[in-house]
Amino acid sequence: MARDINDITGTIVDAAIKVHRVLGPGLLESVYMAALAIELRKRGLKVEREVPISADWEGEDLGLAFRADMLVEDEVYVEGKAVEQLIPVHRRQLRTHVRLTKKRIGLLLNFGAALMKEGIVRHIEGQPDTE
């Protein structure tokens, strides 16, 4: 049975809060994303990590554009960071990555924030970002 997109994003956020609470800030992004993937799988979600994403220019393949940090249930793009503070380029990167992965929704999770809830940005394609 397909899960509701809000249920999926809610589960991702809840799992990210748990990972941040247990591990605390100060580790590499890759550590948080590995722990998040484990936690999401335990909660019954399909998770893919480091997915190669290509881009094209006027119909010509440009090859590998980036590797998606995480795709959840093939519906949600998840970008992980472990920085003291998110800056505008992180939000622009999220919007570009959501568009190139052809997903409708993306989450930017900053595990470097003092409180995880302060480090979450939600982007819905075609709408302003929410925090």
Give the pLDDT means over successive 10-residue stretches in the chain (131 positions). 84 97 93 98 97 92 93 96 93 93 95 92 79 60
pTM of the predicted model, to two decimals? 0.90
Name 25's Cβ contacts closer than 8 Å, sequence gap at least 6: 82, 111, 112, 113, 114
Q: What is the pLDDT of residue 17?
A: 96
| Cα atoms found within 13 Å of the Cα of residue 22, Cβ hemisphere only | 11
Name 62's Cβ contacts closer than 8 Å, sequence gap at least 6: 54, 55, 56
Quick one: tokens of 92? 């622009």
Q: What is the pLDDT of residue 63?
A: 92
Domains of the chain: 5-124 (3.90.1570)
